[in-house]
Structures are given as C-alpha cells and as structure tokens.
Structure 1
Amino acid sequence: MDENKAAEFTGRVLADTAAFATVVLAALGDRAGLFKELAKGGPGTSGELARRAGLDERYVREWAAGLHAAGYLRYDPAQQRFELPAEHAPTLAVEPGPAFFGGVHQELVGAVQRYDTVAAAFRDGGGVRGDELHPDVAEGTSRFTAQWHRNLLVQLWLPLVPEVEAKLRAGARVADVGCGTGQALIELARAYPAVTGTGYDVSPSAVAAARAAAEAAGVADRLRYEVLDASGGLPEPYDVITTFDVVHDAVDPAGLLRSIRDGLRPGGRYLCLEINCSDRTVENVGPIATLLYGFSMLYCMTTSLAEGGAGLGTLGLPEPVLARLSAEAGFATCRRVDMDNPFNTLYELTR
C-alpha cells in the first residue's frame, strides 16, 4: 500500500464528509430564509440576522459560523458581522435563477430522511414509494426544475426545435406528462397565447398545486391538470407532448413511451428532456455524476423498484437506451438536440 495515497484519500473523505454537513447547513439556511435575508438586508451580526429574520439567535450564530468555516459566508471579526458575498448570491439566494441550488439541497436532505428504508432494500429488494418520500423531495424538485422552465425552456431549448416552436405558435394542443406542479405548461401558455394544454401526474398534491399555480398565473382558462398514470394511455390526442426528467423515473418506461407515441396526432412531436449521461459507467464520473447517482439511490431508482418497476435510475436512460425504447414504442425518429448542458439532454421524437 502507498501510504501517501492512503493519507491523500483520507483527506478526500474528510472533505466529502464536511461537504455533506455543509449541504445540511445550507438547506437549513435556505428554509429559514437566511440567505435571502443576507442578500436583501446586507451583513449582520448573529443577533441582527436573528431579529431581521424572526429566528433564534443561538441557532443563527452556529449556522453562520459553520458556513463561514465552509467558505459560504464572510466574517468581519471587528464588527462580528456575517456577509453573503455578492458572487455567492445567485447560487444561494436568487430564486429561481439559473444557478440557484436551494431546491437541490432541499430535495437531497429530504430524500436522505428515508435512508433506513433504502438500506433495508439492499437486503430485501423493493424501495421507497413516491408517496412515502419526505415532502421536501417534491417541493425541492419543484423549486429546482423551476430554473429550467423560467430560464431555459422558452429562451434556449425551444428555438433548437423550430418545428415544435411553430406548432406552439399556431396554437398546439400540448400535454405535459409527469407535470409536477405545472410550471412547464404555465411557461408555454405565457409565451404562446394560442396554446392549450393538459398536465398529467400521478400525485394528487402536485396536481392541486399545478391548478393553483395556473390560476395565479392567469392561464387556467387554457390549461387543466389531471391525476393520471400516463403509462396506461392518454385520454385524448395532442400535437406536442413533453416530459421533463420523467421517463427514467417511470415504473414502466416502455409503456409510458408507447402511450406518448399513441397520444400524438399524425405529425406530432414529443420533447423528452433527460439526464446527460453515458451508457458506459467509465464515462459517468465526477461531481455531477456522483450527485446524480446519489439521487438515484434515494429517489429515482428506489421509487420505481418499490412498485416492481424497471428501476432505470437517474442515469439509466442514455441516448442508446432511449433510442431502443423509442423504436420499440413505434416512434419514427429520435433525435438528440445539439445543446450544451452538463445536467440534461433534449430529444425530439416524431410519430
């Protein structure tokens, strides 16, 4: 054994373990509103921050000291004030900005709270059902994906698929499968006044939130949301169907793709956003892949296996797998859209 390499690895594990504690501290600060308070109101002592945010000073003091130790906050010892650097605000306080991580932290900490059940599944199989996950998983996912819908969907992704965009401008009937809290359809309805659509999700609470969000956005007259397991078929035909990081989670991904194909009108288009990954394990390395494998273990894979499903996992739908499944489902074409995104890949499929 190389003693230097062993010592180096021990240091690496220490850093990774400290990073986990940092995520917990960051999630607590996000939930308490402390990052946004620092961004809005400027630096403060622990007492000043506690008063401004309506919190307990002792907890604020420990939290701030911990994130100063991690390098997230600055500290002025003369004034005993903590500061959120301007360069850190987009990642920690600007929601739903393109760099915001608050939703990711909430989702991850929520998923870890079912650790015991996942650990038992290593021995017994199965997993954690979606409705058994901590509520922070759904809420964090909604906050995280809001970044795509607000900052990327209309601005960057749709111009890359001009035939889809033309259908939307002409008043396409759109279905968003696995719609969550409905944000994708809401953004499409805002950007394309002639669009009408339906969102489908298996979660009654997500559908209720989507309906409320559409009302608040003033587009409820053109959108509706329904509780439905779309793998069993869609109730009406559509010009455009979308899924955003949904198929790899599905209990029956092959059945879901068949339903989507059958639910398209002739000439219809299906936009499938999926994880940017390889079908070769050796290529799925680095911090992003590590994070996604963690989410897979605690969320994407386990919820599918809990239902006796395929258990593809977060990185389980690379391009060759999607191409095979889409051909088996009857799609005529499956095109990977040329875009630069470290997390996601966009595909355009035709009936």
Structure 2
Amino acid sequence: MTLEADGRGAAEDFMEKVFGDYVGANAIFMAAIGDRLGLFKDFASNGPATSAELAARTGLAERYLREWLDGMAAAGYLIFDEADGRYSMPEAYAPVLAEESGMMFLGAAFFDYSTNYGETFHALLEAFRSGDGVPQELYGQEVAESIERFTAPWFEHQLVPVWLPLMPEARARLEAGARVCDVGCGQGRAVIKLAQAFPECELVGLDRYEPAIQAATEHARAAGVGDRVRFELHDGAAGLPGRFDVVTTFDVLHDSADPAGLLAAIHDGLDPEGRYVCVDINCADRSQDNVGPMGTVLYGLSLAYCLPVSLARGGAGLGTCGLPEGRLREMALAAGFSQVRRLPVDDPFNNVYELSR
C-alpha cells in the first residue's frame, strides 16, 4: 500500500468516526424532544401507539410526532410494528428513558445537557475570543432544572442509604441532631433529603444564585420540612454563617470561583470534631488520562458550563476535570484539614470524600 493510500484509509476511518458521532448527536437531539415533552413516559405508562394515537394521548401535533417516531425508530430507541402500524418502547428501556430520578435515568444527564446549553453557545464562542466567562445567570432556569434532574439520583438513592453508612462519624452526628450546612445547595434536594432522614438536625442551604434559593424554599415547603430548614443567598467562600457539625458540597468545589477560599471557609466553619462531606468529579490526575467516552463527556460539560461560569466571576476556572483526588488533597491540607478520606464508592462520575478538621 502506498503512503497516499494509507493516508486516505486513515482519513476514511476518521470520517466514519465523525459520522458515528454525528449520528449519536442526532439521536440525542431527537431523544431530548421526547424527554422534554414526556413522550417516553407516555409510552412507559400507556403502551404502543400510532402517531395519531400518540397525538390524541398527548395533545401534540401529529405531523411532528410522526417524524419523531420514525426518527426514534431509526435510532433504535423505539420499535415499529408493521403489522399494526404502532410504535413501542421496550420495557427494558424505561429505566433509562422514562423513570425520573432513577439510578439508570439519562434524560437530564444526556438529553438536557445536549440541548439546553445551545442557548449560550454564541456567548461561549465570544468567551473563547475574550478569555472572559459566561455568567451563570445567562444559562437560565432550564439549565438549573437540568442540573437538578441530573443530580437527583444521588440524593434519592445514594446519599442516605449508600454514602452515609461509609461515614459512621458523620452519620452519628446526623442521628444525634447535627447542625448541617450544604454549600451550593441548588434547589435544595440534598438538604430536604437529609431533613427527612434525620429529623433532629438543623439544616441550612447556601447558594449565590437567587432563583435556586427561591426554588429550594418552595420545594422544602412542598416536602413538609419547610419549618426545619432554611436557605440563604450567600457565597460560601465569604465564610459560613455559623459553626456546623457537618458541611456538604455536591459537585460544587470544582465550579467555585475561589475553591481554595471555599475550602478554608468550610474548614473554619466546621466544628473541631465535625466532618466535611465532599462529592466531586471522578477524574484522573493527568489530563492526558481523561480520555475515551467519559473524558469526552467531562470536557464537554466543562466547556458548556463549569469552566465559563467560574471564569465569569474572575475565578480559578478549574473546569470539570480540574479537581482530581491528588489536587483536592493538596488544597484541603493547605486549607487546614488534617485528613482526606476517599470512600470506597464505585461511581464512574463522582468521588466521595470525608474530610476531618
């Protein structure tokens, strides 16, 4: 084979890879439509349908549904039965496509994240030119809801039954009625879940994004714990509002404009015998080791949100992969923590740490 032919073969192989990536992008785009309009949930609840039947069930336009059904069948998300002209979703697909907050649900993680961030795409291009960031406020409510949906399985299925049993000191304090502070609380799901599991605790959630505080307050009231928790518009890096037995952050530290300052504030606001529970990204210490499918996802998320939001505040700009275990340990020790323990949790996305003052 000549050098020219060999080069052409490599180019064709790469062209096939790019085409495969584009196929996946189109599948995710169409799946995002189905997720946002509740179409997968409708199939899970009501079974097979023609486009006309699905239109009658959902109140959506038949012509658009017909195109979407054919596209999802082409992508392998739905199955078309030529005998009766109906489309169906295999039962095994429901946990992935339709079971909100389930451990296998990917609606928010993939579908939301691949469409909502398009609204800030041009702002991101300008940030590439200027070196500035993209303010969190520009992302809007839909992105905040996407983050809420993405993180929901952690709090619904992991925090209390899986993670806390691996931290006996922290759990004992919670059972005894701890003073708890969740920094970067978002819409409050972690605070609410802890309030439900440990009714003797006094809990506060902090966030610098006012719409998140408003949503968290409403969610706490709806969950029946509004009288036992509070949410404050506050930047944790400026110092915690008191002394706490347990402090938590859930995928917050790497997004922070001042992660070193936030670690120092948490250290100073923690009771001498207290515990800091830190959940952050499971990534390699060396960037060249963050490769393959998961590395691609992490760097895509970083460019879409984590990096520009931090830089918009003149921050450190760690990015999604900027806080591997080695760097977290280094920064935590510099902030005054005496011990950083990584829990034996098998999670491809997150590491869970327990830090002692």
TM-score w.r.t. structure 1 length? Answer: 0.98
CA contact (8 A) 1:182 1:210 kept: yes
- Residue of structure 2 equivalent to 1:84: 89
Q: Once the 2 structures are TM-superposed, how far is the Cα of residue 136 of structure 1 from its aligned partner? A: 1.9
Counterpart residue identity of residue 82, structure 2: P
SS of alignment partner, residue 321 of structure 2: coil
Deviations 1:110-159 (A, max 9, x none): 11221111112222111211001143211100011111100111111111
Deviations 1:301-341 (A, max 9, x none): 01111111100001110011111111111111111111111
- Residue of structure 1 equivalent to 2:136: 130
Alignment of 1:101-120 (within 5 A): 101-104=106-109, 105-120=111-126
Q: Once the 2 structures are TM-superposed, how far is the Cα of residue 107 of structure 1 from its aligned partner? A: 3.0
- Residue of structure 1 equivalent to 2:26: 21
> d(CA) in 1 for partners of 2:161 and 2:64?
41
SS of alignment partner, residue 90 of structure 1: helix
Alignment of 1:155-174 (within 5 A): 155-174=161-180
Counterpart residue identity of residue 304, structure 2: L
> d(CA) in 1 for partners of 2:238 and 2:157?
32
Counterpart residue identity of residue 148, structure 1: W
**Structure 1 position 213 matched with structure 2 position 219:** yes
Counterpart residue identity of residue 288, structure 1: M
> d(CA) in 2 for partners of 1:108 and 1:202?
25
CA contact (8 A) 1:173 1:195 kept: yes
> d(CA) in 2 for partners of 1:199 and 1:134?
21
Deviations 1:163-190 (A, max 9, x none): 1111111111100000001000111111
Aligned counterpart for 2:75 among listed residues 55, 58, 70: 70
- Residue of structure 2 equivalent to 1:54: 59
Deviations 1:259-300 (A, max 9, x none): 111110111100000000011123211212211110100100
> d(CA) in 2 for partners of 1:142 and 1:109?
16
Deviations 1:173-214 (A, max 9, x none): 100000001000111111112122000001111111111111
Q: How many residues align?
A: 351
Counterpart residue identity of residue 166, structure 1: A
> d(CA) in 2 for partners of 1:78 and 1:275?
48
Moved over 4 A (4+): none
> d(CA) in 2 for partners of 1:135 and 1:216?
19
Alignment of 1:262-281 (within 5 A): 262-281=268-287
CA contact (8 A) 1:233 1:260 kept: yes
Alignment of 1:1-351 (within 5 A): 1-104=6-109, 105-351=111-357
Gaps of 5+ in 2: 1-5
SS of alignment partner, residue 181 of structure 1: coil
TM-score w.r.t. structure 2 length? Answer: 0.96
Q: Once the 2 structures are TM-superposed, how far is the Cα of residue 3 of structure 1 from its aligned partner? A: 2.9
RMSD over equivalenced CA pairs, Å: 1.0
Q: Once the 2 structures are TM-superposed, how far is the Cα of residue 108 of structure 1 from its aligned partner? A: 3.1
Gaps of 5+ in 1: none
> d(CA) in 2 for partners of 1:147 and 1:20?
24
Percent identity of equivalent pairs = 50
> d(CA) in 2 for partners of 1:85 and 1:8?
33
Moved more, 37-46 or 331-340: 331-340
